[in-house]
Chains A and B, each alone.
Chain A
């Protein structure tokens, strides 16, 4: 697990505790349930791609280690399996699936070239270094087939991985987001006001009490 993982300001808060309250309607329950029970096995990626994608997700999306990790790679795979596009693409990038296939293969090729190992086999620090080079557009091996690596990183890697991660209730809880809110909505809109069904923010001093209170927020 990543050593610089952050701790939440909202200990004990879990939006899922509100599942059976007036903040969740049936369609929301169904949609989130489907996401939570999603298969963690790939249907789109082959083994090599899956290995690279899983490693890339772990490297890019830092998760706290006191809970089950959000299956970002599986969510990405599901999206690619459905070929769910955004409705546009930068002309310099190939379509969604192709971009990912090229990008992951290129990352392995770069890693092989530099270290003689595929991306997933690299130590965390080396993975991060390689990703940073990708972010700066410095990776230009033939395996990229002309696709700019910085664009792949910003428009595909960040967009798709974080789009998946922050669609997960665990991520909502982590940042103290109220989550689904129909039909109950919210009543207290002013600063420093929270509805009883919203997370309480903890300070270093009161974390334990807040944690207890947050487990009852619903």
Chain B
């Protein structure tokens, strides 16, 4: 059955899979390829699905394409790390630079719902100052959006996803109560709490996009802990079970197994539609507007692949910045063995958090911030972390015996935008005959100082919490952003605050690529907030005849 989802498109003949009923279908509006729809959106993850939903609800004709499959979580998500690799983007990419990245399971999804299908559900707001970090904090680049406006959109997304969070959040300006109460803390989360208290810093239950009580057709989380391998209960509020069903209801068409290979432009320099591969053939969808929402690797790749004689360096690239300023988040950790049994495989992996070093600037010898969270690795992931220390053979087996006693603290750390960190096209081709992405990445000194600070602090916290045999995991990264940044100036940015490209007025980019800076929190809530804002801006522009 799962072979089926990746071989034959499911959304067709006026219907699409109903993710809430085994074998069920819901009706779906369909548009012929030669009809010029209002928007064709490439990618249905945090950015694309949210925008597709909001635009369709505003009455626009929307077709969204995703290269990935339309999974049925209730029947097709096994409690099995290896099998669930089917959710990841496993097409080839080539990584180089001083710190070559690891992709796939680490940061890239390929499915209707995008990476949110296997994300860890941590749903955080940016620190307000980060939206003006160049002016206020002296590094990175300012966002062209005001934090108070973002705060309203954060509210909207938190409501839409029924985020389960604490009654009061210890950091940042006041916010509304989270819609759902926070989840019970597991033993790993309590280790973080103990450590933070010993260090005299605040901690909190993590705001999570998995429901703590029934919501709509989603049952509450059962703490099975396979979240990053896909949630089989639909408790997780991924785009697949939130924005996508809403989008369908509002009349959007979503095409699974539809890989976009090229955006066409006409002699006037406007986008006219998208060429995509589906069901064994290349097809062309006409559209008044094209939105790229393929995440920070595939978005610049598609823009570069779409180069033509009018735009020889790729679309939307007059600034030369498409593909540049790729930012990951540093994802280093300290791990230790506890006397007590922890069994961190139970429950969502990151049930508690400290954002102390996102909000405290004193005592730092670097720019930026980081959050750190409790951890719950499953066996394959945990073995790979141990391999990262160079362990194998009997040494590894002995370490693995401590699995149920280990606890860890892991950062999501800010890295600075650098033009040398970038996505370009390689000579090698993928299964569609398209050049694959080459991803070049290296930390700068500031990034390294931040990591050193975090490891030092967390080591003390873990020790204070009773951790023994403490060691540092120094090599991990997560999340991708920044390869088509937004800004106020066409010379130094790719899109404006509305996610509209400076060069081609009917070409938009709406995903993690548009971040000028990344901050020290996981990005998906911000991506979704920006998508909601973009939808509202599009409505306003349309009303003024400025689309």
The answer to whether B490 has its CB under 8 Å from any CB of chain A is: no
The answer to whether B287 has its CB under 8 Å from any CB of chain A is: no
Interface residues of A toward B: which range?
35 or more
Query: Quick one: CB contact mask for B382-397 with A, threshold 8 Å, 1 for yes?
Result: 1110011010111011
A31 touches B83 (CB 8 A): yes
B100 touches A62 (CB 8 A): no
The answer to whether B80 has its CB under 8 Å from any CB of chain A is: yes
Q: Smallest distance from the beta carbon of A121 to chain B beta carbons, Å?
A: 20
A148-B80 Cα distance, complex, nearest whole Å: 32
A201 touches B83 (CB 8 A): no
The answer to whether A186 has its CB under 8 Å from any CB of chain B is: yes
A191-B81 Cα distance, complex, nearest whole Å: 24
- What are the residues of chain A within 8 A of B345 when measuring CB–CB? 177-178
B75 touches A27 (CB 8 A): yes
B397 touches A6 (CB 8 A): yes
Query: Quick one: CB contact mask for B55-84 with A, threshold 8 Å, 1 for yes?
Result: 000000000000000000001111111110
Chain A: which residue is nearest B77 at the CB level?
Answer: A27
> Is chain B's interface secondary structure helix, strand, loop, or mixed overall?
loop
Residue in contact with A88 in the complex, picked from B78, B104, B403, CB distance below 8 Å = B104
- What are the residues of chain B within 8 A of A191 when measuring CB–CB? 187, 190, 338, 340-342
A89 touches B92 (CB 8 A): yes
- What are the residues of chain B within 8 A of A100 when measuring CB–CB? none
The answer to whether A48 has its CB under 8 Å from any CB of chain B is: no
A62 touches B347 (CB 8 A): no
Residue in contact with B80 in the complex, picked from A31, A61, A194, CB distance below 8 Å = A31
The answer to whether A179 has its CB under 8 Å from any CB of chain B is: yes
The answer to whether B215 has its CB under 8 Å from any CB of chain A is: no
- What are the residues of chain B within 8 A of A165 when measuring CB–CB? 383
The answer to whether B398 has its CB under 8 Å from any CB of chain A is: yes
- What are the residues of chain B within 8 A of A91 when measuring CB–CB? 94-96, 100, 438
Residue in contact with B343 in the complex, picked from A25, A31, A158, A194, CB distance below 8 Å = A194
B94 touches A184 (CB 8 A): no
Q: Smallest distance from the beta carbon of B64 to chain A beta carbons, Å?
A: 22
A154-B547 Cα distance, complex, nearest whole Å: 51
A95 touches B100 (CB 8 A): no
- What are the residues of chain B within 8 A of A21 when measuring CB–CB? none
A2-B77 Cα distance, complex, nearest whole Å: 37
- What are the residues of chain B within 8 A of A198 when measuring CB–CB? 343
Chain B: which residue is nearest A2 at the CB level?
Answer: B394
Tell me the B488-526 residues at the A interface (CB within 8 Å): none
B104 touches A181 (CB 8 A): no
A164-B387 Cα distance, complex, nearest whole Å: 13
A193-B185 Cα distance, complex, nearest whole Å: 13
- What are the residues of chain A within 8 A of B400 when measuring CB–CB? 166, 174-175
B393 touches A62 (CB 8 A): yes
A145-B479 Cα distance, complex, nearest whole Å: 34
The answer to whether A84 has its CB under 8 Å from any CB of chain B is: yes
B190 touches A88 (CB 8 A): no
Tell me the A34-90 residues at the B interface (CB within 8 Å): 35, 59-62, 84-90
The answer to whether A192 has its CB under 8 Å from any CB of chain B is: yes
- What are the residues of chain A within 8 A of B94 when measuring CB–CB? 88-89, 91
- What are the residues of chain B within 8 A of A184 when measuring CB–CB? 222, 224
The answer to whether A9 has its CB under 8 Å from any CB of chain B is: yes
A88 touches B93 (CB 8 A): yes
Residue in contact with B222 in the complex, picked from A84, A164, A175, A183, CB distance below 8 Å = A183
Residue in contact with B379 in the complex, picked from A90, A166, A182, CB distance below 8 Å = A166
Sample 22 A-B pairs with CB under 8 A, ordered by A number. Answer: A2-B394, A6-B398, A27-B1, A28-B79, A61-B393, A84-B85, A85-B92, A86-B102, A87-B103, A87-B108, A158-B387, A162-B384, A175-B401, A178-B345, A179-B79, A182-B77, A189-B184, A189-B186, A191-B342, A194-B343, A198-B343, A201-B341
The 5 closest A-B pairs by CB, nearest first: A185-B222, A87-B104, A180-B79, A88-B103, A167-B82
